[in-house]
Amino acid sequence: MHTGDDNGGTSRRCSVPEDRNRLGETGFALALIALIGIVCTLGPLVLLSIPATLISIVGMFRQPRGHAFCGMILGTLLSLLVLEVLLD
């Protein structure tokens, strides 16, 4: 029986979901990298917490906000930790 699929049923459509917040995801990823930098005492990576916070704040203006919110909170906490260490 022919189903109209000329590729033998192996073709798949690859689509990106519409409900992604790439700025929020980027800010969250940067905050996680900064956290790894603190845990592993990799100094320069810790400075990623500041752009992570800023990107996550911009991402808060888009839907969905889950990753942006987590990135903003984590980035803010890490930025405060970085400022505390730098000012001592």
Question: Confidence band (pLDDT; 50, 70, 90) for 2?
Answer: low
pLDDT at 52: 95
How confident is residue 1, by pLDDT bands cut at 50, 70 and 90?
low
3-state secondary structure of 8: coil
Quote the pTM value.
0.74
Element spanning 37, H or E: helix 22-39
44: confidence class by pLDDT, cuts 50, 70, 90: confident
